Amino acid sequence: MRILAIESSCDETAAAVIEDGRKIISNIVDSQVETHALYGGVVPEIASRRHMEAVVRVTDLAFRKAGMQPQEIDAVAATCAPGLIGALLVGANFGKSLAFSLSKPFIPVHHIRGHIAANYLAFPELKPPFLTLVASGGHSLLVLVKSYTSFKILGGTRDDAAGEAFDKVARVLGAGYPGGPKIDAMARGGDAQKYTLPHSKVKDAPLDFSFSGLKTAVINLAHNAGQKGEEIDKPALAAAFCRAVVDTFVPRLELAVRETDIRDIVCSGGVAANSWLRKALHEMASRLNVQLYLPPLNLCGDNAAMIGSQAYYEYLAGNCGTTLQNAFATADISENICTKIS
């Protein structure tokens, strides 16, 4: 089964053709990073307008790279939640319209389910059940993937997502946007022991995260130094921040492994590209003797290939939408967005 997938939840307009949920036939990503870098972060209205300008061109290129005509696909999928609502509506409405014009099924996909599914494309042997750490710009979750379409949240952030904290810290350190790769690069060679940063714990919720205190601590440290006319060792502070993020994620993932006795561990989302986190996860996997799956760097960020992969399994489960399918700014990963009303 070949599915055309559309992704437009934030600042990448993407289209891909995926076969049977596991094979990438084509995968095109049109990034808006340079545009939004001028403002230090994503401007929703600009993102929506850029998606409108790019979606037809990107889809046409995906078909051409796949060597296919639109009539040859078996279904159309699009991200319908969660994300920037204006951006989501561009991809969702385009996908629905294309599916209707071709008399093909339309498959709405949850963006975070897609991030998890990116690993199916890289690892043909991977199948549920497994544990996944989702670490992205808008989400930080520990999830038990019970089946391809059944998910249980074990823990999550009580405030900021890790990726959001990376962007804010990058801004205060003058690293630029997007913050994840900028801070990762800045931290290379930095002394992570030079600065002491908080490692937050959530009372009575040992698998939950909190990043707002960590983010605020970095911002205050930098501002206080500036007021005193002192120089900040930016590589060292970036390294300390990366270490603190790792020390927030990894012990909780390790606890989840011990509590569930699940032996297959997956990391998903843009923050999965962070070199500090990847190294720490490899060390944890060796220590616990579990199988670790880390997506290749080109599948960590937003892309349509991951949406096409998850769409295949949603289709097999009967989770297809109609022309009335809506998009949603928020949606729990356990929700079936085909039946979501508000």
162-172 helix and 212-227 helix, angle to the nearest 10 degrees: 10
Q: Residue 153 sits in which domain range?
A: 126-298
Q: What is the pLDDT of residues 101-119, one digit of tens each?
A: 999 999 999 999 999 999 9
pLDDT of residue 342: 66
pLDDT of residue 221: 94
Same domain, 135 and 269: yes
Which positions of the chain have pLDDT values less than 70? Answer: 341-342
Q: What is the pLDDT of residues 212-258, one digit of tens each?
A: 999 999 999 999 998 999 999 999 999 999 999 999 999 999 999 99
Task: Give domain status of residue 234, yes or no.
Answer: yes
Q: How many structural domains does the chain have?
A: 2
Gyration radius of the chain over CA positions: 20
Same domain, 201 and 217: yes
Task: Give domain status of residue 323, yes or no.
Answer: no
Same domain, 254 and 181: yes
Task: Give domain status of residue 202, yes or no.
Answer: yes
- With CA atoms as reference, report the closest residue to 242 among 280, 209, 269: 280
Task: Give domain status of residue 330, yes or no.
Answer: no
Task: Give domain status of residue 334, yes or no.
Answer: no
- Give 203's contacts (C-beta < 8 A, 6+ positions apart): none
Same domain, 88 and 19: yes
Task: Give domain status of residue 77, yes or no.
Answer: yes
Contact (Cβ atoms closer than 8 angstroms) between residue 73 and residue 31: no
Same domain, 276 and 145: yes
Provide φ and ψ at 88, rounded to 5°: -60, -40
Task: Give domain status of residue 111, yes or no.
Answer: yes
This prediction's pTM: 0.96
pLDDT of residue 28: 98
Q: How far apart are CA 43 and CA 32, in angstroms?
A: 10
Same domain, 134 and 222: yes
Same domain, 140 and 276: yes
- DSSP structural state of residue 272: G
For residue 155, give the CATH number of its domain. Answer: 3.30.420.40
Same domain, 29 and 142: no
Same domain, 179 and 277: yes
- With CA atoms as reference, report the closest residue to 139 among 117, 113, 119: 113
Same domain, 184 and 135: yes
pLDDT of residue 199: 84
